[in-house]
Amino acid sequence: MQKETIIPESRDNAFRDLIIKMPGGENLLTCMQCGTCAGSCPVSHEMDYTPRQIVRMIQLGLKKEVLNSNTIWICTTCFSCSVRCPRGIYPTELMETLKPIAMKEGIRNKNAKFDTVFADVVKKNGRASEFLLFSKYSISEPGMIKQAPFGISLITKGKLPLSVAKMDDTRELEAIFKLGEENDGMETEK
Amino acid sequence: MVDNEKPKNIGVYLCRCGGNISDVVDLQSITESVKGENVTVNIQDYLCSSAGQEKIKSDIEKGKIDRVVIGSCSPKLHLETFRSMVKGAGVNPNLLEITNIREQASWVHDKEGKDSVNSKVRGLIKGAVARMSSIEPLVPLEKKLVDRTLVVGGGIAGITTALELADDHEVILIEKQPYLGGHMIGLSKTFPTLDCSQCILTPKMVAVHNHPGITMHTQTEVADVAGSPGDYSITLKHSPRYVDIKKCISCGACTRKCPAGAIFLPFAQTVPQAYMIDMSKCDRCGACVKICPRDAVNLDAKEEITTISVGAVAIATGFEPIDPSFIEEYNYPSPNLLTAIEFEEMLSAKSKTGMRLQKADASFPERVAFVLCAGSRDFTGKGRKHCSKVCCIYSQKQAQLVKKMKPEAEAWIFYIDMRSAGRRFEEFYHHTQEKGVNYVRGKVAEIIPKQDGTLMVQYEDTNLGRKGREIFDIVVLCPALIPSAGTKELADRLGVPLGDDGFIEEKHVKLDPVNTLNQAVFAAGCVLGPKDIHDSVTEGVSAAHKVSQFLGKGMILIPPEKPMILECNGCGDCVKACPYNALTLSGGKAMLSPLACTGCGICVPACPIKGIEIRNFTRSQLKAQLKAMLEDAPGVVVFIDPYAYAAADIAGVNRKQYSSLVRFISLPSIHVLDADVVNAAFEYGATGVMLIEGTTDEKLASRSDDLYKTLKKDTRKHKKPLRYSHIETAQYEKLTDLLNVFASQAGAKAEKRSRKEKGEEKGEETMDA
Ligand SMILES: Cc1cc2nc3c(=O)[nH]c(=O)nc-3n(C[C@H](O)[C@H](O)[C@H](O)COP(=O)(O)OP(=O)(O)OC[C@H]3O[C@@H](n4cnc5c(N)ncnc54)[C@H](O)[C@@H]3O)c2cc1C
Ligand code: SF4
Ligand code: SF4
Ligand code: SF4
Ligand code: SF4
């Protein structure tokens, strides 16, 4: 994403104030930008902003950049950052807090789409299926066509089973998903 | 009760404190409700200003008033000022008292409704006025001071204090280690000028050793403290060295003979210059005993106990590094992973490598990393909150030393904020940059030891927003600096509070930086917080000046609030109860030795016929205060001793909110209380009563449980909550939590009672606390 000059109009204090009341946001204002989180993060090099930068951007109220970042989707919830942060900030929880907000704001970048497809597959079958994930994601994300030869080679080598396992009774699972959707994913707000 | 013939005219002076008080408290309405026949009320912008003080003085001189109640900031700040002012105007100083309506009201209840804060302040001032009309003028007692000072700790701060004092006052300096010098003797060069540490320190250590006014004991610690400020009797514990310091001439004959390598000189410049034995290695063959030409070795030496008499104590016990092994991701200890202190020592007088910087395999490191803030600036409870202050600068010094020893070697400093405030420090930073030291803005996330003895450091370069990984030969951790072990025990024995960071609390953070809350105890150096040599020396000089000023008076004033024995049947119960042996039976009556008495009040409830009262804290005086305080509105009465009061002051300074129902009554100790007073509090409308004490004097605190149990039993009829709690000065957060919980419990209970009384309790009895 293009990095714009930060001007008063880029900042959304209401966004900052909302996040600091949500899980992971509690101590956010005391972040000293030490970088322990990003230095600990196994995947920060894949992120467009490191966890530290996300924290900083929330402090400034840079809502658009935060919610469009791939950071929040790439986080593996390994908790390394949260365990080590000397200010008691939990970037892991922060990522979990930001995802539903991004969805609600209608942000559908490829990382968000991947998560949606994954959730869909699990919802329908009660099991994850790499084949379904792969194919459905390719449909929603045209760029994936480049990966097709790789996918085929995986199939021919038997690394990507075509059969789809399914749960016997998915009713309880559906109820859980419904609950989540009804609450808009925001039920955790305090 | 003492009652002077002429009526007392009380002047109440309320301070706006430039809005600090008046923005929250409606002083005008307080004035209206407090003023009366013999009570005048006046409001000033700043009472502590000369205009404010002049007003009080002129009211006294005009004969308008003869007693003063002040409503302002904590008495800790200006009580002495105000009292000496009224003394000058001809009024006995203890006829002026301060009611703390800033730290205990406007700063801690500003989030509550104005009405409740006003109601509290009104109660406090009315209570103070009632108290003022009931107390008697007293003259402090004088006690002769012992003109001798104990300096605890032989680092640069203690050395400076001792040397600065010793020309005029006798000094005893004790040091826990077998040698003087503290951390400084283990330093290489010293920032910001890079002069050699031992070169500037050794002359001072020798001067201490040779000064006729200084008695020095190494391997010595304080075992017990008795007596009182100005006249302490302190027990010292001396661990054996097995070599007589006075006899040993450091010829080294013993070391050459010892088969076990157990007898040694700690390092060449050691002061005192004497060998010592490590008994864990010694196999008692006696070779050293035989060879010593001076007959200095005694393998049977034992720990010794001595007692000294001193008037003042200066604490200079310095710091120690936090043990970094709690930071799991740093993998300390590991080969080639050092603390900064270990790094320094390698290049210092204490070096065991011949002042060579080397890796575990004795080769010179090509790449060295310095990891700052290891355990500092940590608010998770695992490390320490404070900044250790010197690491930013000494790590740059160490990096310069690496570059100086080998210009092609790489030195990296991983920092969060490069703190180089202070004269000559920014220049030092700039100079280090010029030397080619590599600065990375980012706290190290993990350190992984490799098979080959190198260490992998992973971090984010926060300036670039990129993760990085580097391999180093030596990694130096700059650990949080914390008060040395034993500081708390020593401070407790001397009745000196610590801050919540564990360092000694200054009498006033800014204005009385080397005094403590005990007038006879002073502090200097890193025991007051991490700092460099320059600042440690400055504090040593200051502490010496303050000690000298204190001792120079020759006398110490003792608070006059002592017991008076009004009736006595000679049963001797008070004599048995007094923890300080201040009471004796003479001719069948109890007799007080006022100078031994601390005014703790334990004798008051001990007397079965209620024949003892503490002057100005008599039962009837306390009751009068309680009655007036609770007249308009009920509240929670909290009896509080001076140490816990100091915690409430810190809560105030930190604006920690708590319920405005809380009304403190300040007592010299909670032990003056008996059921009479507590029952009276309940009768006058207290919804609950708390006893909070912070004293670390075991003689008192060990009896508090009994006091509480007795009071609980004897006030049971009121069915109102009573609590006791021990809160040390540092625990101000615990204090406010406790007050909040208690106030709401007491409130709920009171509400339930009132509903019951109104007969409304049918069916809904769920509101229990
Ligand atoms: C790695 C490192 C490098 C540094 N480099 C520099 C520098 O280059 N320049 C600079 O200006 N400052 C430097 N400093 C800071 C400097 O070390 C301190 O300012 C100084 O040592 C403080 O002196 P002190 O007397 O207060 O404490 P300490 O040096 O800690 O001395 C306290 C003494 O009290 C003794 N003691 C402790 N408890 C007791 C007890 N209960 N009874 C009796 N004795 C006791 C201890 O054994 C010790 O000898 C450095 C600090 C560190 C950690
Ligand atoms: S570790 Fe904590 S304090 Fe440091 S940058 Fe990350 S969130 Fe901020
Ligand atoms: S929890 Fe997420 S952001 Fe934190 S270190 Fe792990 S992957 Fe990175
Ligand atoms: S002085 Fe520097 S390295 Fe030391 S704790 Fe403070 S900021 Fe960290
Ligand atoms: S007040 Fe305390 S020290 Fe004084 S006589 Fe009574 S019990 Fe003893």
What's the whole-number mean pLDDT along residues B625-646? 95
Instruction: Say whether both A94 and A14 belong to one domain.
Output: yes
- pLDDT tier, B211 (very low <50, low <70, confident <90, very high otherwise): very high
Mean pLDDT, all residues of chain B: 94
- pLDDT tier, B767 (very low <50, low <70, confident <90, very high otherwise): very low
Interface touch B446/A40, C-beta < 8 Å? yes
Alpha helices by DSSP H, listed for B214-339, are 253-257, 287-291
What's the whole-number mean pLDDT along residues B246-253? 95
What's the whole-number mean pLDDT along residues B19-41? 95
Instruction: Say whether both A57 and A137 belong to one domain.
Output: no
Tell how far the Cα of B36 is from the centroid of ligand 4, in angstroms.
Answer: 58
Q: Report the number of distinct structural domains present in chain A.
A: 2
Of A9-23, A115-129, B288-302, B507-521, minimum mean pLDDT range: A115-129
pLDDT at B311: 97
Q: Using the 3D structure, point to which of A104, A123, A143 is the last residue of a domain.
A: A104
In a domain, residue A45? The reply is yes
More confident residue, B768 or B199: B199
What's the whole-number mean pLDDT along residues A64-89? 96
pLDDT at A21: 95
Tell how far the Cα of B484 is from the centroid of ligand 1, in angstroms.
Answer: 9
- pLDDT tier, B696 (very low <50, low <70, confident <90, very high otherwise): confident
* Cα–Cα distance measured from residue B400 to residue B404, given in angstroms and rounded to the nearest whole number: 6
Count of C-beta atoms within a 10 Å radius of residue B36: 12
Which one of A29, A30, A31, A34 makes the best mutation probe of the B interface by having the most chain B beta carbons within 10 Å? A34
How do residues B307-344 score in pLDDT, each as one tens digit? 999 999 999 999 999 999 999 999 999 999 999 999 99
pLDDT at B135: 95
Mean pLDDT, all residues of chain A: 89
Q: To the nearest whole angstrom, how far is the Cα of A104 from the nearest Cα of chain B?
A: 28
What's the whole-number mean pLDDT along residues B204-231? 96
Q: To the nearest whole angstrom, how far is the Cα of B529 from the nearest Cα of chain A?
A: 20
pLDDT at A183: 66
* Cα–Cα distance measured from residue B340 to residue B391, given in angstroms and rounded to the nearest whole number: 8
Tokens describing residue B156: 């640069």
Instruction: Give yes or no for residue A187 having a pLDDT over 70.
Output: no
Interface touch B467/A41, C-beta < 8 Å? yes
pLDDT at B681: 97
Q: Using the 3D structure, point to which of A79, A104, A129 is the last residue of a domain.
A: A104
In a domain, residue A64? The reply is yes
Which residues, including other chains, have CB under 8 Å from residue B277's CB and lie 6 or more apart?
B241, B242, B243, B262, B263, B288, B297, B299
* Cα–Cα distance measured from residue B100 to residue B379, given in angstroms and rounded to the nearest whole number: 31
What's the whole-number mean pLDDT along residues A28-35? 98
Q: Using the 3D structure, point to which of A85, A104, A123 is the last residue of a domain.
A: A104
How do residues B88-147 score in pLDDT, each as one tens digit? 999 999 999 999 999 999 999 999 888 999 999 999 999 999 999 999 999 998 989 999
Closest listed residue to residue B696, CA positions, set B483, B518, B572: B518
What's the whole-number mean pLDDT along residues B179-196? 96
* Cα–Cα distance measured from residue A147 to residue A129, given in angstroms and rounded to the nearest whole number: 18
All structural domains of chain B, each given as residue ranges with its CATH number in brackets, are 1-140 (3.40.50), 148-238+303-318+484-552 (3.50.50.60), 240-296 (3.30.70.20), 323-480 (3.50.50.60), 562-614 (3.30.70.20), 634-769 (3.40.50)
Mutate to test the pocket of ligand 2, among A28, A40, A54, A55 (most ligand atoms within 8 A of CB): A55
Instruction: Say whether both A15 and A87 belong to one domain.
Output: yes
In a domain, residue A190? The reply is no
Instruction: Say whether both A147 and A61 belong to one domain.
Output: no
Interface touch B465/A38, C-beta < 8 Å? yes
In a domain, residue A1? The reply is no
Instruction: Say whether both A75 and A126 belong to one domain.
Output: no
User: Chain B partners of A50 at a C-beta cutoff of 8 Å?
Assistant: 460, 465, 467
B634-667 per-residue burial string, b: 16 or more CB within 10 A, e: under 16:
bbbbbbbbbbbbbbbbbbbeeebebbbbbbbbbb
Task: Work out how many CB contacts closer than 8 A connect A with B.
Answer: 73
How do residues B581-624 score in pLDDT, each as one tens digit? 899 999 999 999 988 899 999 999 999 999 999 999 999 999 99
How do residues B53-68 score in pLDDT, each as one tens digit? 999 999 999 999 999 9
In a domain, residue A189? The reply is no
- pLDDT tier, A2 (very low <50, low <70, confident <90, very high otherwise): low
Instruction: Say whether both A67 and A29 belong to one domain.
Output: yes
Instruction: Give yes or no for residue B768 having a pLDDT over 50.
Output: no
Instruction: Say whether both A149 and A76 belong to one domain.
Output: no
How do residues B534-587 score in pLDDT, each as one tens digit? 999 999 999 999 999 999 999 998 889 999 999 999 999 999 999 988 999 999
Closest listed residue to residue B689, CA positions, set B671, B717, B663: B663
Instruction: Say whether both A19 and A98 belong to one domain.
Output: yes
Q: What is the pTM of this model?
A: 0.86
Show the domain range for A91. Answer: 9-104
* Cα–Cα distance measured from residue A168 to residue A23, given in angstroms and rounded to the nearest whole number: 35
Instruction: Say whether both A96 and A14 belong to one domain.
Output: yes
What's the whole-number mean pLDDT along residues B294-317? 97
The alpha carbon dihedral of B347, B349, B350, B354 has a sign of positive
Instruction: Say whether both A116 and A99 belong to one domain.
Output: no
3 state DSSP class of B629: helix
3 state DSSP class of B39: strand
Tell how far the Cα of B531 is from the centroid of ligand 1, in angstroms.
Answer: 9
Instruction: Give yes or no for residue A151 having a pLDDT over 50.
Output: yes
Instruction: Say whether both A100 and A123 belong to one domain.
Output: no
In a domain, residue A66? The reply is yes
Q: Around B99, how many Cα atoms within 13 Å sit in the side-chain half-sphere? A: 30
In a domain, residue A184? The reply is no
Tokens describing residue A10: 């880029």
Any idea what the CATH number is for the domain that residue A16 is in? 1.10.1060.10
Tokens describing residue B488: 């708390």
In a domain, residue A62? The reply is yes
Instruction: Say whether both A29 and A75 belong to one domain.
Output: yes
In chain B, the percentage of residues whose pLDDT exceeds 70 is 98
